Amino acid sequence: MPQFYESPPPRLADETLIARAVGGDRRAFADLVARHYDFIFRTACKWCGKASDAEDVAQDVCVKLASILKSFDGRSAFTSWLYRVTLNAVRDMQRARSRRGRNVDRYAEVAPDEYLPDQEDSLAAKELWIAVRKLPDQQRDAVLLIYAEGMSHAEAGVIMGCKEATVSWHVHEAKKTLRGLL
């Protein structure tokens, strides 16, 4: 006797979930957050360097999404927009800690992570990433997007909200600064 089963519902596109969530559909919002939570966490982890800080940032982003989702205009991919939101949350956390007088070097700790699998034991690589995290915001962002995320200068420009040439300039300036530090 043949068995009948119900096939799972089709996976809705992000745009559909966003439209429904903005319209007040809590299930659509929960589905959107569940779909992108790992992306948010991994992104935050790369920028923070510590899983505990990344968890805090990811939670903040998820809470913030409820009020800012309506500002997503669809001109870029949702993940590009979400990347920018996550980056801003990382910066907000760092500024808040800095205002409270915490030691900035805490942010520079590099925990062994999946994004540096071949370099976990390399002291030089750890020192380099510590130095990168101490760069001015725009230089740091450009370097991390290009070298840690493997993005092109054009893709990094979309995330950073600037032109490709500006990203290239930030990378160039970062390299000069890092040569002086290391």
Determine the angle formed by the axes of helices 164-181 and 123-133, rounding to 10 degrees. Answer: 120
Separation of alpha carbons 171 and 165, rounded Å: 10
CATH of domain 11-109: 1.10.1740.10
pLDDT confidence bin for 108, thresholds 50/70/90: very low
For 71-100, how does the pLDDT look when each residue is reduced to its tens digit (9 = 90+)? 998 888 899 899 999 999 998 888 877 766
What does pTM read for this prediction?
0.65
pLDDT at 8: 46
CATH (one of 1.10.10.10, 3.20.20.70, 3.90.1150.10, 3.30.540.10) for 114-182? 1.10.10.10
Output the CA torsion sign for 29, 70, 91, 129. Answer: positive
Q: Pick the residue with more confidence: 33 or 100?
A: 33
Q: Say if residues 68 and 62 touch (Cβ distance below 8 Å).
A: no
Name the residue ranges covered by the structural domains of the chain: 11-109, 114-182
Q: Supply the Cα-derived Rg of the chain in whole angstroms.
A: 19
With vertex at residue 81, the alpha carbon angle to CA 176 and CA 85, rounded to the nearest 5 degrees, is 75
Residue 169, both tokens:
């300039």
Domains 11-109 and 114-182 share a fold: no
* Tens digits of residue pLDDT in 129-179: 778 878 888 888 888 888 887 888 888 888 888 898 988 898 888 888 888
- Locus of tokens 């993940």: 79
H-type alpha helices, the chain: 14-22, 26-48, 51-68, 78-99, 123-133, 137-143, 153-160, 164-181
Residues 6+ apart with CB under 8 A from 37: 58, 62
Confidence of residue 49 (pLDDT cuts 50, 70, 90): confident
